[in-house]
Chain A
């Protein structure tokens, strides 16, 4: 927000996400504030960030892995399941909090001009802070069953994490801005969140989808979260398999060579569109909130 003193500028016309980068100090404080107050007054505190996903994991593992016997067809199903769950949780938490972030911060937005993109971006960072402890649990579990990833696999996982953050930020900007005008947006996002866990291969394996969708399987692969979850499987689950457990269709075809670049493109495009929509809609935030 630093204006040179010698020019007249129009107040309240920022450069969007670039301003957020310029205001890293404020972003840091907003993220720290959210983390501090998230579990205020609770005895377990940050432990809830471990307890909730572990509970979720147990439910799925018992219901699907044991009752529906998916565990039998999929070796190390627990690892398979948990690596998908943590990534999808990061996405859904980011998206639903980013969608609400503008309305939640209405007191501030109505009174003081700030680059409003700060709020959705801050929520994604907060979700990342909750994602990291879960990732540590995942890595510990992987190491326990003999995980030997290659450097390329680690790099791919990092790239996917960034991609999911970009995707969530883009969608968060879109739905967050629309939410100011139509609170329906929150409900649409709640539905997306519900669907996402099932629309990507978190609980089941991709071959089951291909069997049903046949030549339309590419539609399923267009979902960036499908690709993201599969790459996470490639990094965290595939290296834990023994040689005799690896089959030719462990991973979907062309995952890294074709689908990964496609989903990167889709995610960046969504961020771009999200920023454009947000800028157009943010002009009247203060009077509509």
Chain B
């Protein structure tokens, strides 16, 4: 993994627009036609505009901004869940998200089955999961409950297992969205230590979080988004300072 210096994520002039309201029913469409097509059938909202960003391999980037500034949208574009309406997004190597951990969990399956299912969903092969299995269970502190159905887990156990799978997927680029608040204090510390360990291993980290003190310790670079545009890109401490200044004046 000594590919430092290569571009890991490249966004050029990215634009993303959402349609806020759709009219799908025949009745509404007819009424609209009869009334002489007054008003728009749909309302549009520009979530990202002219976002250009380059992340090198091994960089740790914090994506900062207030609610609704387009952080999660950008993360989804990078993971491939969404497609841009303009511009290009490109990534190098496998990208995996610690986005909404546990999205692939099924309540009626045992912890063991869910490790395999979720691992495969996050792009691991059967062999990788077999090798990592014990380590995943150990990190999650689930212990003997691994063969219990997930629906009987406490919410903490659930999140710990999901997080544990996600950090074991070993992709080149990690996307992390607001999941640092997992479990109790000791487990949180363990998670942060794990994320720092990943950063030291030369993984590219792309983190979205509102916990400014925390991201400042994990990341080196900060990118500030406001109303879908990049307004600042630099050292994380400077960007955090700028965000604090801006939000104080709101």
Contacts and interface: CB of A to CB of B under 8 A. Distances in A.
A141 B204 CA distance: 62
A29 B116 contact: yes
Nearest to A2: B94
A181 B25 CA distance: 11
Given A36-B108, A37-B108, A286-B81, A11 B89 contact: yes
B49 interface: no
Contact-residue bracket for chain A = 35 or more
A25 B82 contact: no
B18 A11 contact: no
Interface string A269-289: 000000000000001101100
B103 A112 contact: yes
A29 B92 contact: no
Contacts of A109: 81
Interface residues of B, number: 39
Given A113-B79, A113-B81, A3 B104 contact: no
B121 A26 contact: yes
Contacts of A107: 103
Contact of B91 (A2, A8, A112, A287): A8
Contacts of B137: none
A4 to B, nearest CB: 8
Interface stretch (B30-38, B122-130, B194-202): B122-130
A11 B95 contact: yes
Contact of A12 (B80, B104, B116, B125): B80
B92 A9 contact: yes
Given A23-B120, A37-B106, A286-B82, 16 more contacts: A2-B123, A5-B92, A5-B93, A8-B92, A10-B89, A11-B89, A11-B91, A12-B80, A12-B81, A108-B121, A110-B81, A111-B99, A112-B99, A112-B104, A112-B122, A181-B24
Interface of A: 1-3, 5-13, 23, 25-26, 29-30, 33, 36-37, 40, 107-114, 181-182, 283-284, 286-287
17 contacts: A3-B92, A5-B3, A8-B10, A9-B91, A11-B79, A11-B95, A13-B83, A25-B126, A30-B117, A33-B106, A107-B103, A112-B81, A112-B97, A112-B99, A284-B83, A286-B76, A286-B81
Interface of B: 3, 7, 10, 18, 24, 76-83, 88-95, 97, 99-100, 103-104, 106, 108-109, 113, 116-117, 120-123, 125-126, 172
